[in-house]
Amino acid sequence: MNGVKTDKSYWDYTWRTIPLPKLGKSYAKDINWYVIWKFYKYFHQIFSNMKTEGKNILEIGCARSVWLPFFSKEFGFNIYGIDYSEIGCQQAMQILSKESVMGEIVCADLFSPPRSMLETFDVVVSFGVLEHFKDTEVCIAAFSKFLKPGGLLITNIPNMLGLNGLLQKIINRAIYNIHVPININTLRRAHQINGLRIISCNYFLFTNLGALNIENLKGSLFYKVARLRSWINKVVWTIERGIPALKPNRWSSPYINCVAIKK
């Protein structure tokens, strides 16, 4: 399936075995919500000059999404999601219902979606989807087909070529192997080749060791030691919040975000 490095059974098992995520609050001052707070600020900046009320937003890879309720409540978007995991789709609907948000979740392969979904959306967003496919350009082409002309594509991927990627390779090689390491230039070029005009393409956050996946190490001594990462995060985030000198960069940043417009 288009050079995919994972399959549906992997995601079905993953979503079945881990608890549903908690939803953060944009006003939370607790340092534990620092990453969510930074994402909230990021999206408010992106949409600051855009009329979002009543517009259509699609999340690709929407399994158990915590972002769809946010996009509805904060910006007034009409909510849509697509994912090929039935379990993930059910959990996404469960979260929407819990948050009293109306939305449509479509269980389908993003490369073979219902034709009615093509060129339908004002905004298309994905979190950690692109890097699971070997052909980055083909995947971005599939993403862009959902957009109306002039629509906005927001792509978030992990920075697997930085510190987090190195640590992931060392402590949990199986998880590292289901990712394609993508640098910022490759990400930018994949959008441009598909006729998308780059608005911004940047590293995001100074660090977040919580992005490391250690779930399949549960029960081991290493898992108990690795959980100390949360305390390291809190120290760094406290410094980052108070000292602007800690900037996102190619070495320590956990994510890359790209925003582009469909011409």
Least confident of 62-66, 85-89, 169-173: 169-173
Q: Tell me the per-residue pLDDT of 100-127, one tens digit each, with 9 for 90 and over.
A: 999 999 999 999 999 999 999 999 999 9
Partner residues linked to 158 by β-bridges: 255
Instruction: Answer yes or no: is pLDDT of 84 > 90.
Output: yes
pLDDT tens digits, 63-81: 999 999 999 999 999 999 9
pLDDT band per the 50, 70, 90 thresholds, residue 246: confident
Q: What is the pLDDT of residue 22?
A: 79
Place of tokens 């920075």: 159
d(CA 57, CA 151): 10
Which residues are within 8 A (CB) of 184 and not within 5 positions of it... i.e. 6 or more apart? 201, 202, 203, 250, 256
Give the burial class of 77: count Cβ atoms within 10 A of its Cβ; 0-12 exposed, 13-18 middle, 19 or more buried: buried
Longest dimension (CA), the chain: 52
Of 260, 230, 256, whose CA–CA distance to 128 is shortest? 256
pLDDT at 1: 52
CA 207 – CA 7 distance, rounded (Å): 29
